[in-house]
Amino acid sequence: MPKNKNILGKLFTFVAWLTGVLVSLAVAFGMINKILLLPNWLGGATVTIIAGWVVVITTLLGVLIAIFRLFE
């Protein structure tokens, strides 16, 4: 019985992780494509685009690190 809980726990963790990756990329590309914008007093479109690319790069780095940790 504990094996079932362990597998279910790992599956839940993976689904939560994948959801986080997808949401991060969706928000980042919304920022890059100027669908989501910061107000002008916070830097406007330029800062939004830069922040979007930072989120894309860090999310992809996180995915790569997760893949490498699978093979440790």
Calpha distance 35→18 (Å, rounded): 23
pLDDT in tens, 17-37: 999 999 999 999 999 999 999
The residue behind tokens 């790069």 is: 57
pLDDT in tens, 6-19: 888 888 989 999 99
What total number of domains does the chain contain?
A: 1
Q: Which two tokens stand for residue 65?
A: 């690190």
**pTM of the model as a whole:** 0.82
Calpha distance 19→59 (Å, rounded): 12
The range of the structural domain enclosing residue 62 comes to 2-70
